[in-house]
Amino acid sequence: MVSTCAVLIPVYNNEQTIATVIDQVKCQIDRVIVVNDGSTDRTGAILTNRSDIELVCHEKNRGKGAALRSGFEYAFAQGITHVITIDADGQHNTDEIPLFLEKSTEDSESIWIGARTVEGSGKVPFKSRLGRWFGNIWIKLFTGFALADTQSGFRLYPLTHLEPLEIKSNRYDYEQEVLLEAAWAGVPLKEFPVQQIYQSKEMRVSHFRPFLDFMRIGRVHSRAMLRHLNPFNSIKVEGKTAGEKVRNLIRGELTSHTSPLKASYAFSLGVFMGIFPIHGFQVVALMFVATKLKLNRPISFLGVNISAPPFLPFLIIGAVKLGDLFLPGSLQSLELTGTAVEKGGAGFLAFILGSVILAPIGAILALLISFPFFYSISRNQKS
C-alpha cells in the first residue's frame, strides 16, 4: 500500500506543453515535483510562476537520467515513498495516473511500467519502435523479465528500493540501467497497458538522439553485465604471482564448484570466445553464455584471455594467414594490386574469416589439452 506518492516530471525545453501537463496531473494527484533540467526556452519562467508545484532546478542541462535522480533524491528526503514519473511532452494520458495507484496497492514493492500498447492518437515513430524493441531484448536477456515497453517513461517507483542502487547513467540510458539494477537487486518489474499518444511530427519535441542514445544504452548493458557477471568480483585468490593465483584458482574451483570435464568445457568456451571476432564484447558474451550453460565462469574467464597480450599478436597473424587460404582469388589479389584501403579491407576480411575458422579449432584443442591437466589437479587434490 502506497503511504505517500507524488508525480515527478523531468523537463527540458518543453515550453509548449509543460503548463498543460502540470494542470492535467494536478487533477489527479496533489503533490507534483518538477525538475527543470537547465531549460533555455521559456520553460523556466513558466515553472517559477507556479506555486502549486515543488520545483528542483539544474543550472545546466545534465540529461533526463540526472533530472530523475535529482527528483528521486528530493522526494525521498521529503518522506515520499513512491514516485510516478511522467514525461513533459504530453505523450502520456494523465487520466491513467490512478491506475498506477491501484496497481501499487496490489504490489507496492515492484516497479510498475505503463506499457504503451493501447492504440491512441498519432503514429508511433520508427525510432521509438526501434528503441522499444532494442530495450526489450536487452532486459529479457539479462533479467528474465519479458516486458513490452521498457522505454516507457510512465512508471511508478518504490523509492526505498532505488536509494541503494548504484546507477551511473545520466541521460536516456538511466531508465534502462535502473531496470537492470533493480531486477538484479530482487525488485520485480511489472507492467500494464496504457494509451500511446504521439503528436504530429511538427508538434513533437524530442531530445532523444537515436544513434548516440542507442550506443549509451548498449554501453549500460555491457557495463552492468561486466560488473555483475565478472567472476572475480566474488572470489579472492591467494598468490604472489599471476601463475600462483591461476593455479590456486583452478584448485579451488575444482575442489568446490566444478568437475574436470565441466572445467574443460568452460575453458574451451573461453578460448572460443577469445578468438571469435566479436572484440569488445567477448567477455560480456562469454559470461552470458557460461551462465546460461551453467559452466564455471572463473575458469572460462581464464580461457578468454587468449585474446590478451602476449598471445594477441600471434592470434591476429594466425587468423589472417588462415583467412587468406579461404578468401576468393579476386579478394586475395587486392593484397598485391589494390590500393592501401583495399589492402586493408582484404586483410580485415581475412582476419574475420580466419578467426571464425580458428575459434572452433582452438576450442577443441583447449578441451583436449585442459582435460588431462584439470583431471590431474583434481586427483592430486583428493589424494
The top-scoring range by mean pLDDT among 17-21, 164-168, 219-223, 290-294 is 17-21
Q: Is residue 219 predicted with pLDDT exceeding 70? A: no
| % the chain with pLDDT above 90 | 46
- What letter would DSSP give residue 259? -
Distance CA 364, CA 353 (A): 18
What integer is the mean pLDDT of 42-64?
95
18-22, 124-128, 132-136, 154-158: segment of lowest average pLDDT: 124-128
Instruction: From 100, 180, 106, select the one nearest 140 (Cα to Cα).
Output: 180
Q: Is the pTM here over 0.75, yes or no? A: no
**CATH top-level class of 5-228:** alpha beta
Contact 68, 157 (CB under 8 A): no
User: Can you give the three-state secondary structure of 140-203, one letter per residue?
Assistant: HHHHCCCCCCCCCCCEEEEHHHHCCCCCCCCCCCHHHHHHHHHHHCCCCEEEEEEECCCCCCCC
CB 268 within 8 A of CB 367: yes
> Is the pLDDT assigned to residue 166 strictly greater than 90?
no
Can you say whether residue 165 is alpha, beta or left, with left for phi > 0 and alpha for psi between -120 and 50 degrees? beta
The answer to whether the CB of 36 falls within 8 A of the CB of 106 is no
According to the model, what pLDDT value does residue 383 have?
66
Domains in the chain: boundaries? 5-228, 235-382
The tens digit of pLDDT for each residue in 238-260 reads 777 767 777 888 888 888 789 99
What is the rounded average pLDDT of the residues 49-78? 95
3-state class percentages of the chain: helix first, strand second, coil last, to nearest 5:
55, 10, 35
Name the strands in the sheet holding 5-11, side by side, starting at the edge strand that comes first in the sequence. Answer: 54-58, 32-37, 5-11, 82-85, 155-158, 111-118, 189-195
